[in-house]
Amino acid sequence: MTSLEQERWSRVKGRLKAEVGEDIFSSWFARMDLECVEKDTARLSVPTRFLKSWIQSHYSDRVLRCWQAEERCVQRIELTVRTAAIKAPPARPRMEEQPEPAREPKADRLNGAELRLSPAPVSAAHEASGGSPLDPRLTFETFVIGRSNTLTHAAAKQVAATRRGDLVMFNPLYIHAGVGLGKTHLLQAITWAGNAGGDRKLQYLTAEKFMYGFVTALKNQNAIAFKEALRGIDVLVIDDLQFLTGKNMQAEFCHTLNALIDAGRQVVIAADRPPSELETLDDRVRSRLAGGLVVEMGPLGEELRFEILKNRIAAARAHHPGFEVPDTVVSYIAKSVTHNGRDLEGALNRLLALSKLTGQPITMEVAEREVRDLIRPQEPKRVKIEDIQRVVARQYNVSRSDLLSSRRTANVVRPRQVAMYLAKTLTLRSLPEIGRRFGGRDHTTVLHAVRKIENLIGNDASLADEIDALKRHLQQE
């Protein structure tokens, strides 16, 4: 691409951003690239099929108009998927022949259906058929959309709105995020909406419940029935996959996953880390998990926290009309309780209890006193071992595969030790896990590296500074 084209492309993006706003732009267009402009066609690419299809059905006119404002001769926009990272299962038609993703109105009708149905029978039926309990508050209705979760929310709605016989768009849908950022909320919302609004059977299971179900079935010698029942589900929703442990369990889970996906059933998964970091799962399962749509939800921004609080207060007022929280107090909580959705809930519950039990009005003074201990410093960013390896390799001018290799020349040994040291100090991974991620090394090797660097830092101020800079870089990246 010429620099002229590059420049023009930046201007087109600028226009688009001005038109749709920062939030929408970063959710949908941040990863859209220009491939080239040929005659009257601007060829653009995005990393996933889902983005492609969403942009095509919702924004293609806008994108074209922004182009034409910069370059009159462009008459057409062509959108392609950049890599083959998301592979369609073999026997299924290609994406181009699949229906467009559901537009919002369809999804909204779904919410209507969900509201009309009383939640209790849905949850009871769900539990009776072996699912984990569903919380009636965790629906799409109560899920607040913000910058950090737009894409994930849209994907979740899409999954919930699909009907039996529709083609499955991305499978599995894999959602990862830190604690309290809304994974369970979204998964349960999918289950509620799907079970209430459609002809499919959705089952929500925590990984623990999955394991428990299987172990019980084995004990009662009806493992086959258990498997059959699982495979009869249209949409299997598994929460907290990081808790799936044990070789047998993994094998069982792997079979279930493969059987469902191959049969064109939808699988939705949530975990606290990306598939590549599910250390206990074997490579085949991880690659299967990564082969659908993997989406991450970031920390709740202040605006989002504010909206969540407002919604919660409104819901609480339905049962306790005297509960009034001034906006200044809501902003204060949104600003100071930065940790996660659970702490927000905790803060409000305290104020609610106080208001109910004492009838005291909720003032700023009361709020400050009540939520003091929930105010924690911002949770440090989750650092991934892959990022550490990438950043360290770049810093020392070696390749990532050098770091993982068995080469013992000085120019790779030191960077490798630094990377292992950073992995130990910046992540919660155990020594054996780290060893495995560094080309299958023994945990004693990792320990040696960590000790070595600790010693060096004590004696070498410039190395200490260098490592400090690397740490800061990784935590901010």
Q: Is 27 in the site for Mg ion (CB under 5 A)?
A: no
Q: Which residue is nearest to Mg ion (CB)?
A: 184
Min CB(311)–ligand ADP separation in Å: 7
437 binds, among ligand ADP, Mg ion, none (CB under 5 to 8 A by kind): none
Closest CB to ligand ADP among 185 and 414? 185
Q: In angstroms, what CA-CA distances link 30 with 21, 34, 35, 151, 305?
A: 12, 12, 15, 12, 23
Instruction: Please list, in sequence order, all residues whose beta carbon lies within 8 angstroms of the beta carbon of residue 397, skipping any fewer than 6 positions away.
Output: none
C-alpha closest to that of 347 among 318, 309, 316: 309
How far apart (Å, rounded) are the C-alpha atoms in residues 21 and 431? 45
State the minimum distance, in angstroms, from the CB of residue 379 to ligand ADP.
Answer: 12
Q: Name beta bridge partners: 79.
A: 44
Restricted to residues 170-189, the positions that interact with Mg ion (CB under 5 A) are 183-184
Q: How far is the CB of 184 from Mg ion (least distance, A)?
A: 3
Q: Is residue 76 classed as helix, strand or coil in its secondary structure?
A: strand
What angle do helix axes 341-358 and 364-371 make, rounded to 10 degrees? 120
Catalog residues that contact ligand ADP under the rule CB under 6 A. 138, 142-144, 149, 177, 179-185, 308, 341-342, 345
Residue 79 CB, shortest distance to ligand ADP, in Å, is 29
- The residue sitting closest to ligand ADP, measured at its beta carbon, is 341
Q: Which does 126 bind (CB under 5 to 8 A by kind): Mg ion, ligand ADP, none?
A: none
Query: Which residue has 């499978």 as its token pair?
Result: 171
Count CA atoms closer than 13 A to 50's CA, side-chain side: 25
Compute CA distances 75 → 39, 40, 182, whole Å: 9, 5, 41
The binding track of 182-221 with respect to Mg ion, each residue x by CB under 5 A or -, is: -xx-------------------------------------
Shortest reach from residue 26's CB to ligand ADP, in Å: 16
Residue 342 binding result from ligand ADP, Mg ion, none, given CB thresholds of 5 to 8 Å by partner type: ligand ADP
DSSP string, 145-195: P-TTTHHHHHHHHHHHH--TTSPPSSSSEEEE--TTSSHHHHHHHHHHHHH
Q: Work out what residue 180 binds among ligand ADP, Mg ion, none; the CB cut-off runs from 5 to 8 Å by kind.
A: ligand ADP
CB of 133 to ligand ADP, least distance (A): 13
Give the one entry of ligand ADP, Mg ion, none that residue 425 binds, where binding means its C-beta sits below a cut-off of 5 to 8 angstroms depending on kind.
Answer: none
Q: How far apart (Å, rounded) are the C-alpha atoms in residues 288 and 277?
A: 14
In the complex, the smallest distance separating the C-beta of residue 200 from ligand ADP, rounded to whole angstroms, is 22
CA proximity to 267, closest of 119, 155, 122: 155
- Which partner from the list Mg ion, ligand ADP, none does 294 bind, CB cut-off 5 to 8 Å by kind? none
Please list the residues that pair with 297 across neighbouring strands. none
Binding interface with Mg ion (CB under 5 A): 183-184
